[in-house]
Amino acid sequence: FPMFEQDEEGTIKAMHHPFTQPKLDELDKLDTDILGLRANAYDIVLNGVELGGGSVRIHDKDLQARMFKALGLTDEECAEKFGFLIEAFKYGAPPHAGLAYGLDRLVMLLLGEKSIREVIAFPKNQNAECPVCEAPAPAGEGQLEELGIELAPQA
């Protein structure tokens, strides 16, 4: 999988997230061919259906700093957003990886269903609404106030 992608404005973005470890034998591409750098990421596929995916995560503070710099983050932004992680890396972190496994996708395959919505208790439609329980419910005034959200009057 590619490590980075470029948006319509030409800004370099992490394809998945900035914590995925790049292929270590391609690190020189971080400076020479950033869009050619591949991520140390993987998918689990069964009969053409993706069941899950994950990646090896960065565990080195210097490599993480290079990734943040490649994404155009300043030292101040990194400290504000990820200071806890940067601080933890100073004490050492073991190599580690993550995987998100979709049990619902496996059940879909086992039951021979064509859509994951057929095996999820509260499936969402194309508008992210749940026809079974009519979610999402309107937010109450107290919730909006707590979150600092003001609704604009409809035109």
**CATH code where residue 109 lies:** 3.30.930.10
* Confidence (pLDDT) at 66: 92
Instruction: Identify whether 8 is part of a domain.
Output: yes
Instruction: Identify whether 48 is part of a domain.
Output: yes
Long-range own/partner contacts, residues 45-54 (CB < 8 A, 24 or more apart) = 46/106, 46/109, 47/109, 49/105, 49/108, 49/109, 50/102, 50/105, 51/101, 51/102, 51/105, 51/106, 51/109, 52/99, 52/100, 52/101, 52/102, 52/105, 53/99, 53/100, 54/97, 54/98, 54/99, 54/100
Instruction: Identify whether 54 is part of a domain.
Output: yes
Confidence of residue 42 (pLDDT cuts 50, 70, 90): very high
This prediction's pTM: 0.69
Instruction: Identify whether 42 is part of a domain.
Output: yes
Q: Is residue 40 scored above 90 in pLDDT? A: yes
pLDDT tens for 56-86 read 999 999 999 999 999 999 999 999 999 999 8
Q: What backbone torsions phi and psi does residue 27 show, to the nearest 5 degrees?
A: -60, -25
Domain that holds residue 45: 4-120
Tokens read off for 52: 């899950």
> Which position has the higher pLDDT, 35 or 134?
35
Query: Residue 72 contacts by C-beta under 8 Å, 6 or more apart in sequence?
Result: 11, 12
Instruction: Identify whether 126 is part of a domain.
Output: no
CA dist 82 and 88 (Å) reads: 10
Q: How many structural domains is the chain composed of?
A: 1
Instruction: Identify whether 111 is part of a domain.
Output: yes
> Which position has the higher pLDDT, 34 or 124?
34
* Confidence (pLDDT) at 121: 82
pLDDT tens for 91-149 read 988 999 999 988 999 999 999 998 888 898 877 888 888 877 878 888 888 888 898 98
